[in-house]
């Protein structure tokens, strides 16, 4: 083939790796020290070291690459700073999965041994990720690559955290969080997914204090009723307007709790009455804050029942559910049980 003739097909393997190597050797991706040039930099959102890159990473890297190359051609002093993220719980779950494949558990290792396994994973997949980015032609200054657990970065995080704490910008308070009993840690909304479950919905009688009337509350989680501190109805619901501000009796606990009005209640769903367990439901949490309700924790951090009643102390949620349903039957508070498919939150990493 003559030099001026074009091949019918483009084969990037023939020369792109060689060309990229030339770019790196000539320092094309490094910023110059010419202070007369205007600077333009991009800090790469660091991909997690939980495996290999996906199409979303490829799209994101492409957008950043054409921006940095465009500014470089305009004569700016450019820096695209690469890095990788240790990913915390996501990486931990990958390491746990790998141990499981080897027939071992996290509990079989000491803290130091597990951290060593995590570092091995990080080194393996952190390198794989940057090899992929090079294959895509990312024009980063690789000698400046950072990892979120680098000593300098970790120290910076600790220093800033301490300063913000001392100034009162960071403080400890009670909030509704996503808690994983397996990982023993809080998790972000991004690490929570909905799952569908075939279960039941239980209709329970809540007697009105000093009255023959009662409210019917429908719930998919009767085990949480031990932590109920109120019942909510919609303020526009004519069926219950006369009961707003009164008290009802919490079954089993024999405890007086208020009947409140809150527009978050859907009049068309269920019975129109919603039991409020502020410690174990985000809507209930907000209603609890707004109406100054008591906050009662039904479970401990392992999802084991607290000692609110001796009959279920030390049980898990599902064991306690069966006991509580039987108690409601025996006491005459259970009206009916219906089959019901509902969505529940779960930590997708576990």
Residue-wise pLDDT tens digits, 56-95: 999 999 999 999 999 999 999 999 999 999 877 778 888 8
**Which band of pLDDT confidence, cut at 50, 70 and 90, is reported for residue 4?**
low
DSSP conformation letters of 77-103: EEEEE-EEB--THHHHHHHHHHHHHTT
DSSP β-ladder status, 230-233 and 255-261: parallel
Residue with tokens 């898990």: 316
* 350 or 326, greater pLDDT: 326
- Please compute the mean of the pLDDT values over residues 188-209 and round it to a whole number: 88
Packed helices 89-101 and 111-135: angle between N→C axes, nearest 10 degrees: 110
Residue 204 has a pLDDT of 97
Provide the edge-to-edge strand list for the sheet that holds 192-207. Answer: 214-219, 192-207, 334-347
Is residue 225 within 8 A of residue 210, CB to CB? The reply is: no
Q: What pLDDT band is residue 19 in, cutting at 50, 70 and 90?
A: very high
pLDDT of residue 115: 85
| pLDDT for 350 | 56
Average pLDDT over residues 154-161: 94
Say how far apart CA 179 and CA 282 lie, in whole Å: 13
Q: Which tens digits make up the pLDDT trace of 260-304?
A: 999 999 998 889 999 999 999 988 999 999 999 999 999 998 999
Q: Model's pTM, two decimal places?
A: 0.69
Domains annotated on the chain, with CATH: 12-150 (3.40.50.620), 190-347 (3.90.740.10)
Task: Tell me the β-bridge partners of 197.
Answer: 342
pLDDT tens profile 111-142? 899 888 888 887 787 788 899 999 999 999 99
């Amino acid at each position: 083939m003559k030099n001026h003739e074009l091949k019918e097909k483009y084969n990037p393997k023939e020369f792109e790796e060689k060309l990229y190597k030339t770019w790196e050797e000539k320092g094309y991706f490094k910023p110059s020290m010419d202070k007369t040039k205007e600077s333009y930099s991009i800090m790469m959102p660091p991909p997690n070291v939980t495996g290999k890159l996906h199409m979303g990473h490829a799209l994101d890297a492409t957008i950043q690459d054409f921006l940095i190359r465009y500014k470089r051609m305009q004569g700016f002093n450019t820096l695209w700073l690469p890095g990788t993220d240790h990913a915390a719980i996501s990486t931990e779950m990958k390491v746990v999965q790998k141990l499981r494949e080897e027939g071992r558990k996290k509990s079989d290792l000491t803290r130091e041994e597990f951290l060593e396994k995590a570092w091995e994973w990080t080194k393996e997949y952190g390198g794989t990720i940057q090899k992929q980015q090079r294959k895509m032609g990312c024009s980063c200054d690789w000698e400046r690559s950072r990892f979120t657990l680098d000593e300098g970065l970790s120290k910076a995080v600790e220093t800033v955290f301490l300063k913000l704490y001392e100034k009162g910008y960071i403080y400890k308070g009670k909030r509704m969080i996503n808690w994983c009993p397996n990982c023993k840690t809080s998790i972000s909304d991004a690490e929570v997914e909905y799952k569908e479950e075939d279960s039941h919905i239980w209709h329970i009688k809540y007697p009105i204090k000093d009255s023959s009337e009662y409210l019917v509350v429908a719930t998919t989680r009767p085990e949480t009723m031990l932590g109920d501190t109120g019942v909510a109805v919609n303020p526009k619901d004519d069926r219950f307007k006369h009961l707003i501000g009164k008290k009802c009796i919490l079954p089993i606990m024999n405890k007086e709790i208020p009947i409140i009005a809150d527009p978050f209640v859907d009049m068309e769903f269920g019975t129109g009455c919603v039991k409020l367990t502020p410690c174990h439901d985000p809507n209930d949490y907000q209603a609890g804050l707004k109406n100054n309700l008591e906050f009662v924790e039904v479970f401990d951090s392992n999802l084991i029942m607290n000692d609110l009643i001796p009959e279920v102390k030390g049980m898990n949620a599902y064991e306690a559910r069966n006991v509580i349903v039987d108690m409601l039957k025996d006491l005459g508070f259970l009206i009916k049980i219906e089959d019901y498919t509902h969505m529940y939150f779960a930590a997708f990493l576990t």
